[in-house]
Amino acid sequence: MTNKYLHIVFRDEENLFEGIDLLRANDFSIVDVMTPFPVHGLDHKIGLKPSLIPTVGFICGAIGALTGFFFQSWVFTSSWPMNFGGKPFFAFPSFIPVIFEMTVLFSALGMVLAFLYRSKLYPHKECSTEKVPITTDDQFVIKLMKPEGEKLTLLQKLVNELKVKLDNPEIAISEKLTFFNNKIVALVPLAFILCFSSCKNNKEQPGYEYMPDMVYSRSFEYYSANPLDKSKSMAKVPPVGSIPRSFTPYPYPNTKDGYEQAGKEWINPLSSNDIYIDEGKKLFELYCVYCHGQKGEANGILVEKQKFPPPPSFSSDILKELPAGKIFHSITYGKNLMGPHASMLSYQERCKVVLFVQSLQKKL
């Protein structure tokens, strides 16, 4: 360390503030103040200007919020509109989580980058700030430019006055303090880790486990041997002919023959009435309207935006007389580019959609 700086050492923050006031009142240039813990009001005491980092954080957060809002608006209303549970395309409440996350992300990154730029920090830069061990323990240090001539004499006089005024003979001026050796400090935790990682000679031993009861299940695991059963198998084959609860069998396979057979034999178990047709309309608007359009004229929003080729219109010769069985079969397994909807619509819901489609066939 060069001798162009002087350090004044204090034992507590109250004495530190007295010293700062006295030095600034006599026009001494304070370079830095090092403390073992954050001291409230110290930045104002030494005359530091308010940081602009909070302002940068606010501006970047606002940019992030606007980015999240406009990006979601563009995606869900223009680029790739999708229906989620019947909500409108521009559903602002559903945008809020992403807007919040984008606000936090942009604000945090903006403040970090602003701090690095303002502090002139970059990879592999050597630290230019002294690391004084006593300031990480229990002492406070004022670093100031070393005065010369009468100024130096005045400084010594002021420090002696502080000792008497504050009844603290431990206040002292020092030209050179002991500093950390960065390389040695970095090697200490590394050596500690290496020592404890080599405690066991057997590398296959995972170590000790504490309270393992919640880790290992006391029940039999899937597909393991079952000592209580003659078959010794944990997985059991369902009885012949059994079906899952609330499942309605559909006997026609996903083949061309199955499609034709369903058109001839399948009968809708629901009677055609306004209630079922209205419910089918709601389901149609939820799952089908984006390609087929509101009236089945193949003018849905995805077709208009050329995301998908138009499907056949319900008024076309192909679909106008299409029987209920083929409509149900197409909804269940899908047809051409149309995907299967059996996993999204129950058997009864598909029947209601069929009733609504047939009502459109009659109107077109």
Q: Which domains does the chain have, with CATH numbers?
A: 1-190 (no CATH), 256-363 (1.10.760.10)
Count of beta carbons in the 10 Å neighbourhood of residue 118: 12
Whether the CB-CB separation of 7 and 141 falls below 8 Å is answered with: yes
Average the pLDDT over 74-103 and give the result. 87
Q: What is the residue whose two structure tokens read 């041997």? A: 225
For 143, the enclosing helix (H) or strand (E) is strand 140-145
Residues 246, 343: Cα–Cα separation, whole Å: 14
Q: Is the pTM of this model over 0.95?
A: no
Mean pLDDT check: name the lowest of 26-40, 44-58, 223-237, 317-331.
223-237
Q: Whole-number mean pLDDT of the chain?
A: 82
What pLDDT score does 202 carry? 67
218-228 pLDDT, tens digit per residue, is 677 777 777 77
What pLDDT score does 118 carry? 85
